[in-house]
Amino acid sequence: MKGTLAGVLARPWIWSFIGALAVWLAAITFTGGTGAGGMLTAALSLAVFTVVVGVGQMFVITLGPGNVDLSLPANIGLASAVAMTVMAGDDQRIAFGLLAALACGAAIGTANYLLIWALRIPPIIATLSASFVIQSIDISYGRGLQIKPPPGFADFTNIQLFGIPLLAVLTVLFMIGAHVMLQRTIFGRSVLAIGQNMRAARLAGIAVNRVRFATYVLCGTLGGINGALLAGYFRGANVDIGNEYLLASIAVVVIGGTSVAGGKANIPGLFGAALFLVLLLTMLNTFGVSAGVRLLLTGLIIVAVITAAGGTKRER
């Protein structure tokens, strides 16, 4: 049994769950045990959104150093506006709205990769330039947009089964799917191979450009669906709805044990890291600290966790 325990502890992802548990315990100790379950339910609901974009960001980061999608916040904002416009508050049109959000995200992913490929610039700059343009489109298209989500869709994002949000259950299924895709399909193995050594991957006959293209489209699409879900959950689209997901998506990937140098991804840890981040914010809220202190502590804790989790060992 001892060997099993050590084996579990040696897995990097276990630490993000331990961190989440510790934060939750700290929060309920403070409240004296009241609201412990409610806190978990709320955390699970909010963690869903971080996980969805986190998985997309993880695939992109796994492609290797320099690969990161900075256009996610703008993407989420635009997709939320598009989804709400297409749904137009009508239950009959939910499917169209979701499809529109997916298409919007996929189009942004395509545009991102076109810039990377055609201009041969680092993805950070490409996605940054794209996000400038997307943000403006969103501001001029989505400002003053006051369309409520269809009641059916808003309810769907808030359904709970025995205190567990339905979206969280679906997200666990989604993560299992993503895990299988990463570890057991040609696409996932190609992403890992490219992250480990792009040149070797190309020489081994992997269609590097096609796989990178698909990865950016995947990330964009997940951003799009996240925008639609967020608009449903928060009852309306908003230009700033995706702002916090830039830090969140990158932070959960790193805290969850995925290598920033690429080639090594970790799906279970991502979920733990998302719970950790959300519970951290909940804890600071229960402590009743001011907005400034909350920002300050969030930043400090993230820097501390990253430092403790450590970077990869220096190669060569």
Partner 1 sequence: MASLSVPDRRGLPLIGAPNVPRLLRALLPALSLALVLIGIAWLNPRAISYFGFTLMLNLAVPIALATIAQMFVIAGNDLDLSIGAFVGFVGCVTATWLRDVPLLGIVTLLGCIAVYAALGALIHLRNLPSIVVTLGMSFVWQGLAVLMLPKPGGKAPDWLLEIMRLKPPLVPFPILAAVVIAAVAYVGLMRTSYGAILRGSGGNALAISRAGWSLLKAKMTLFACAGLFGVLSGLALIGTTTSADANIGNGYTMLSIAGVILGGGEFIGGRVSPIGAVIGALTLALAASPLLTFMRIPPDWQVAANGAILIVVLAARVLISRKDAQP
- Applying CB under 8 A, which part among 36-44, 168-176, 229-237, 286-294 lies near partner 1? 286-294
Return the number of the residue (165 or 220) whose C-beta is nearest partner 1. Answer: 220
Q: Determine if 119 is a binding residue for partner 1 (CB under 8 A).
A: yes
The token pair at 146 is 């006051």
- Applying CB under 8 A, which part among 31-39, 150-158, 199-207, 298-306 lies near partner 1? 298-306
- Applying CB under 8 A, which part among 38-46, 211-219, 271-279, 284-292 lies near partner 1? 284-292
Residue 115 Cβ vs partner 1, minimum distance, rounded to whole Å: 7
- Applying CB under 8 A, which part among 23-31, 94-102, 125-133, 208-216 lies near partner 1? 125-133
Residue 239 Cβ vs partner 1, minimum distance, rounded to whole Å: 10
**Relative orientation angle of helices 123-142 and 94-119, to the nearest 10 degrees:** 140
User: Looking at 37, 66, 151, 177, which residue binds partner 1 (CB under 8 A)?
Assistant: 66
HEC string of 171-197?
Answer: HHHHHHHHHHHHHHCHHHHHHHHHHHC
Residue 310 Cβ vs partner 1, minimum distance, rounded to whole Å: 6
Q: Quick count: other Cβ atoms within 10 Å of Cβ 280?
A: 23
Return the number of the residue (135 or 226) whose C-beta is nearest partner 1. Answer: 135
| CA angle centred on 94, ends 88 and 98, rounded to 5° | 105
Q: What's 216's DSSP letter?
A: H
- Per the CB < 8 A criterion, the answer to whether 105 and 44 are in contact is no
User: Looking at 14, 121, 169, 172, which residue binds partner 1 (CB under 8 A)?
Assistant: 121
| CA separation for the pair 267, 180 (Å, rounded) | 10
> From its phi and psi, is residue 264 left (phi > 0), alpha (psi between -120 and 50) or beta?
beta
| CA separation for the pair 106, 143 (Å, rounded) | 22
Return the number of the residue (7 or 292) whose C-beta is nearest partner 1. Answer: 292
| CA angle centred on 91, ends 235 and 88, rounded to 5° | 60
User: Looking at 120, 144, 162, 205, which residue binds partner 1 (CB under 8 A)?
Assistant: 120
Number of amino acids touching partner 1 (CB under 8 A)? 49
Q: Which residues bind partner 1 (CB under 8 A)?
A: 66, 68, 115, 118-122, 124-125, 128-133, 135-137, 139-140, 143, 246-247, 250-251, 254, 260, 290-300, 302-303, 306-307, 310-314, 316
